[in-house]
Each structure stands twice: as structure tokens, then as C-alpha cells.
Amino acid sequence: MRREIIFKNGLGIVVGALIYAVAINDFLIPHQIGEGGVTGLTALGYYTLAIPPAITNLVLNGLLIAVGYRYLERQTIGYSIWAILWISLFLRLPHIVHYQTTQTLIPAVIGGVLMGIAMATIIHCQGTIAGSTILAKIVNRYLGIPNGSAMLFFDLIVAIPSGVIIGFQNMLLTIIELYLSAVVLNKLLAKFGAKRAVTIISNQYATIATTLSEQFNQGITLIKAQGYYRQKAQPMLYVICTAKQLATLVPVVSQIDEKALVVVEEVRSVQAAQLKQLL
């Protein structure tokens, strides 16, 4: 099972790296649109000194990987190195989509959407593209700020001053592209990686807990509580699950106790090495 997960994540990162490279090579650089973070510095290096993007990407991201090594899990660092290698490789390939237009807003929009999809794919597969995603991952882990919002902040630090080189209009297009990529990234991560906190109040809590544990292999916390009106002890069950698990979990609870009170809340961030053991 472990090897299957590693293979699946590794393949997903390769796909994300390809989409990322297409966004840069075929939509952003040909139309003089900048980027944020390391990618922005990579584009500026190409515009001003003609430094190949693959080289700049590899060198600068290597330095940020060293920073992330102290704060992030070793697995994340390993997947990030894998992502950087493939991005650097794909950036050296010829153009895949030969697209030229004088309507520069179009490549900015398409590039932003593709960048958001690429980063969401890589982050969903437990990796990063280094650069601002390393910093965003650290901020998300310790402060709970969404990855896309944190990335947008760090990217703008590079994107806004880039107007001196790429011009005011292209700087505005860069900001539009960064905003779109952040929105797409947040939306996709919320959809695919969202967690739900479920509180269940029922007189048949023991049966519900046993059933959920057996059917879903899901950790469950039993919280001792007391009703105010009757002053009667009423234990509650607390479960962290995915949106997909929730769709099945609620009907199971209703089958056991149709009068059970089920409260569902969205969870911004869950940090635990072994969630089942903690619950």
C-alpha cells in the first residue's frame, strides 16, 4: 500500500510539473507576463539576462528546499525535490502549445488557471514546487492560512517590483494571473483535501462508534458531556473525516438512530502523524 501511494503521488507530481511548465513556457514567458516567487525571478532572469528558466529554477529552489528541510516533513521535502527536477526538465522542452495573441489578457487568464491546477495537483500529492509554496506550506502548517492566500502574498512581493522590467501593464497582468492561480489553488485544495469535523449526539453512541470504527476504519473520540435541561450525562462522538467519507457516514448514523443529532463543520487544517491513533 505504501508503494502504491508513493507511485500515485509521484505520477501526480509529474503531471502537475508538466502543466506548470506549459503555463510558463507557452503562456507567460512568450507574452512577457511575470510571476511571483522563484518563478517570477526565473522569468525576470530570462527577460533581462537570457538565463535559461530551468537553471534558475533549479538553483533558487534548491536553496529554499534547504530552508524547508528544517520546518517540513521529510516526505514533503522528498516529493518537492521530485517536483523541482521534473519542472526543470519540462522547462527545457520545446513549446507544446504554440499560442500567440495580441490580447495579452487571454494568456494571463489561461496561465493563471493552469498554474493553479498545477500547484493544486502537486500539493495534493504531498509535494511543493518549492519557491513560495515552501513558505506557504510553512505558514499553513503553523498559522492555518490557506496555501493559495499565503502564496499570493509572497508572490506579490516579487511581482509588483517586476513592473520596472516588464512594464506597468504586464505587471497588472501578472497580478491578475497570480490572483487567478491563488483562487484556483484554494478551490481545488478545498474540494479534494477538505476535512470535516462531525459531532454526533445519540443515546446509541456506543453502537454508532463501533459501527463507524469497523466500517470506515475511522478514529473516533468520545467526549463526556452533560445536558443542561435534564442534567443527564450524554456522551458525544467526535470524528474527523473527508467530504467523501461524510456522504456515507451520515446515512449510517441515521440507520442506527434516526433521532441522532449530527453537527458537521468544515476544518481548515488537520495536523497529526497518525490521526487514527490520536482519536
How many alpha carbons fall within 13 Å on the CB side of residue 177? 32
pLDDT tens, residue by residue, 45-69 = 777 777 777 777 777 777 777 767 7
Report the chain's mean pLDDT, rounded to a whole number: 81
Say yes or no to pLDDT of 279 above 70.
Answer: no
Could you give the dihedral angle defined by the CA atoms of residues 38, 43, 48 and 54, in that order, rounded to the nearest 10 degrees?
80
Could you give the dihedral angle defined by the CA atoms of residues 7, 13, 15 and 17, in that order, rounded to the nearest 10 degrees?
-150
Mapped onto helix, strand or coil, the DSSP state of residue 107 is: helix
Distance CA(182)–CA(166), nearest Å, equals: 21
pLDDT tens, residue by residue, 69-102 = 776 778 888 888 898 889 888 988 877 777 777 7
Q: Residue 254: CB partners within 8 Å, gap ≥ 6?
A: 260, 262
**Per-residue CA distances from 150 to 36, 117, 147, 181 (Å):** 12, 16, 5, 12
To the nearest 10 degrees (0 to 180), the angle between helices 243-256 and 205-216 is 140
Mapped onto helix, strand or coil, the DSSP state of residue 194 is: coil
Mapped onto helix, strand or coil, the DSSP state of residue 279 is: coil
Domains and CATH numbers, the chain: 2-193 (no CATH), 195-278 (3.30.70.120)
How many alpha carbons fall within 13 Å on the CB side of residue 135? 16
CA-wise closest residue to 59 among 153, 152, 147, 130: 130
pLDDT tens, residue by residue, 168-199 = 888 888 888 888 988 898 888 777 766 788 99
Alpha carbon 190 to chain centroid, angstroms:
8
